[in-house]
Structure 1
Amino acid sequence: MSENAPAGSSAAVRCLTYIDSRIAFVERQILAISVMLMALNTVGNVIARIGFSSSLFFAEEFNRFLIVLVTFVGASTAARYGRHIRMSAITDVLPAKPRKVMMTIIALVTAALLFALAIFSISYLLSLYQSNRLTPSLRIPVYLIYSFVPLGLLLTAIQYVFAAAANILRPGVHLSYTVKDMESDGSSSM
């Protein structure tokens, strides 16, 4: 722990690390199962087309649902590993302290925007729920398919809050809770 770290930050870091590891576990399970289902669905559809001259009636719709799921849950995973696209021309030339402040501000603003988007998406989800729309093939309520949008946005926002916390509670500059910016150490990030 750094001498400059706030009192009690060790307990805070342990708590955040535990929460992050639980979220990461759930995300990995969701992503792994979704990708496997997508592959099975696609292979099954190809076999049906070649072997029976007819596609599975639900294949495209089911894959579309899984793509929404993987996209929004995967956004959180990308944030956890500092893999989102970032514009770093300004922050790369800053000294360590201003760079750390800038990364904290960027993480907090990004988290606030993602929380706002999550709220808007919940509002949209409620309107979908009230519309009673069903998907054409599987006859699943449309709101169920898009229910992973606010979840993914919330999880990603949490990752950015964690990134800000890492910059506040830990020494060095952090791209995410688990990834330290190697540029701040003087070494290459690639």
Structure 2
Amino acid sequence: MGSEAPMSVFWKIYDRIELVLALALLAATVLAVLLTAIGRSIGTPITSGPQFAQLFLIWTCMVGADLTAKHGEHIRVSALPDILPVPLRRWVAGFNLLLMLVFLGFVAKLGFDLSVGNWQRTLGASGLSYGLVTLALPVGSALLAISFIRRFWAKGLIASYEPTQEAKEGVL
């Protein structure tokens, strides 16, 4: 229990930081769109507003996708696996997990290359690097891979695809 307790505390802090980050990014997206619309309507457009909204939105989507996957709420078609016998269902779940991890690794690698390649490109009037937008792909892919591996490690193959109790109760 001595080595397990610190990891449990680590994951609780990690999960809390990710949730706060997702909420902050969502709020920043809404605020960027709102301020841009207000500025435009009063005749003082904020030219960099759409670029900031784009930046915050892609990061919101990637962090939000991880939060969704972490709670087992990602899209899945369970009609076929549910009718399979448990050993075959376990094999299908393992194969799906392997495919997802390979795909996420592929997206992370190509997303990182895209981010590096776009680092010198500016994001419209904001002056920020477009690499910050594309960096959301590899970071989001890494977060998703971590979440899938954590769920597998904690719950096993079949149960790792089931929604958490918090998700079932609507409390995240």
TM over 0.5: yes
Structure 1: 4+ residue segments shifted above 6 A:
10-16
Given candidates 148, 168, 182, the residue that maps to 2:156 is 168
Deviations 1:91-149 (A, max 9, x none): 111234432343233223212221221112112222223xx211121111111222222
Residue 136 of structure 1: aligned partner: 124
Listed as ranges, the matches of 1:15-164 within 5 Å are 17-50=8-41, 52-129=42-119, 132-164=120-152
Q: Is the 8 A contact 1:103 1:167 kept in 2?
A: no
How many residues are aligned here?
A: 165
Residue 186 of structure 1: aligned partner: none
Shift of 1:22: 3.2
Shift of 1:76: 1.0
| Partner SS for 2:159 | coil
1:17 & 1:143 partners in 2: Cα distance? 34
CA-based RMSD of the aligned residues comes to: 2.7
1:59 & 1:165 partners in 2: Cα distance? 42
2:31 & 2:155 partners in 1: Cα distance? 42
Q: How high is the sequence identity, in percent, across the aligned residues? A: 19
Point out the structure with the larger helix share. Answer: 2
Q: Is the 8 A contact 2:123 2:130 kept in 1?
A: yes
**Gaps spanning 5+ residues in structure 2: where?**
166-172
Q: What is the TM-score normalised by the length of structure 2? A: 0.80
Q: Is the 8 A contact 2:55 2:133 kept in 1?
A: yes
Given candidates 164, 179, 183, the residue that maps to 2:164 is 179
Q: Is the 8 A contact 1:103 1:164 kept in 2?
A: no
**Structure 2 CA distance for partners of 1:119 and 1:22, relative to 1, 3 Å:** farther
Letter of the 1:125 counterpart: S
Q: Is the 8 A contact 2:114 2:134 kept in 1?
A: no
Shift of 1:49: 2.6
**Gaps spanning 5+ residues in structure 1: where?**
1-9, 181-190
